[in-house]
Amino acid sequence: MVLEPDMPPAVARSSPAAPTHPAVPGRAGSRARMADAADRPRARRRSGWTRLQLATHAAALAPAAHLAWDVWTDNLTANPIQDITARTGKTALVLLVAALAVTPLNTLFGWRRLIPLRRPLGVYAFLYALQHFLTFVWLDYGLDPVLLEEAIFEKKYALVGFGAFLILLPLAATSTAGWMRRLGKRWKRLHRLVYVAAVLVVVHFVWLVKADVREPLAYGAVVAALLALRVPRVREAVARRRLGSASRRTARGTPPPPPR
C-alpha cells in the first residue's frame, strides 16, 4: 500500500540519474562542475537507503522480531493467541497512523524527507494487519468457516475490522509503481480509502475494549486531526501560515531553517 494520494505516479517513481549539466567550457563549465560536486552526496544517497529509511525499516520490523523472539522463548502471556492478536493489531494501527501522518507533517513543517517513508509504512501496516487477521482466522478459529462467519458477523467489532482489512487488501495490491501507472487518476481516488480503513480500525478498537476507551479514542483524535489536514481549506490555511512565517524570517534577515 502506498498511501500517497498526493503524489503523481511520475514523481513517485525514482528518477534515473540524468546528467545535470552539459559539458560547458569556461566559467559556466566550472560553475556546473561545482554544482555537480554539491550534488554528489545527494546522488550517493539516492542510490541507497538514507539513515532515516533504515531506521524506519528497523523500527517497523522490531515488533515482529520481538514477537518472534517471545514465541520462540515461550514468553507470551497466559493466552498466547490473544497476545499475538493484540500486538499485531496495535502495531498495524500505529504504522497506519504513521503512514497517514507523512503528508500532513510535510504540509505543516516541510519535512519532505518523510515522503519516501509513506509507502514502506503503509506496506508494513498491511503486513501486520494480515498477521493479525491470520492469527484470528487460523490460530483462533482454525479456519472453520461456520465459526468464522458467526464470529465476524455477530461481533460488530470484528465486522468493522474485517471491513478495514478488505479495504487494505486492494491498497496493498496496487501499491507498486506499475499499478500507479495503470490506474492513473483512479489510483489516487482508490488510495484515499486508506482514511476509511483508519476510521474503521479506530471503531474496531473502541468497540472491542470493554472499559477504558481512552487509548482507542486517542488514536481516533489523531486520525481525525490527520483527516482535517486533508481538507483543502485547512491545508491552504496551514500552507499560507508557513509561507507567511518564512517570508517574515527573510524580511528580518534570519536564515531559513536548513533543508530537512
- Which stretches of the chain bind ligand HEM, using CB under 6 A? 82, 85-86, 89-90, 92-93, 96, 129, 132-133, 136, 158, 161-162, 164-165, 168, 201, 204-205, 208
Q: Which CB sits closer to ligand HEM, 9 or 216?
A: 216
* Biggest CA pair distance of the chain: 79
Q: And the C-alpha cell for 117?
A: 517513508
Q: And the C-alpha cell for 195?
A: 482514511
Q: Nearest CA to 190 among 175, 178, 202?
A: 175
The single residue listed with the C-alpha cell 477504558 is 212
Minimal distance, residue 2 CB to ligand HEM, in Å: 16
Minimal distance, residue 114 CB to ligand HEM, in Å: 20
Q: Which residues contact 39 (CB under 8 A, 6 or more apart)?
A: 20
Q: Which CB sits closer to ligand HEM, 150 or 236?
A: 150
Minimal distance, residue 159 CB to ligand HEM, in Å: 8
Contacts 24+ apart (CB under 8 A), 153-159: 156/207, 157/203, 157/204, 157/205, 157/207, 157/208, 158/204
Q: And the C-alpha cell for 238?
A: 496551514
CB 175 within 8 A of CB 122: yes
Q: Which CB sits closer to ligand HEM, 56 or 131?
A: 131
Distances (CA, A) of 90 to 19, 42, 58, 69, 86: 45, 36, 17, 18, 6
Q: Which CB sits closer to ligand HEM, 199 or 208?
A: 208
CB 113 within 8 A of CB 50: yes
Backbone φ, ψ for residue 25 (5° rounding): -75, 170
> Taking the alpha carbons of 223, 226, 231, 237 in that order, is the dihedral positive or negative?
positive
Q: Which CB sits closer to ligand HEM, 12 or 129?
A: 129
Minimal distance, residue 78 CB to ligand HEM, in Å: 12
Q: Which CB sits closer to ligand HEM, 96 or 114?
A: 96
Q: Which CB sits closer to ligand HEM, 75 or 250?
A: 75
Minimal distance, residue 205 CB to ligand HEM, in Å: 5
Minimal distance, residue 137 CB to ligand HEM, in Å: 7
Minimal distance, residue 155 CB to ligand HEM, in Å: 8
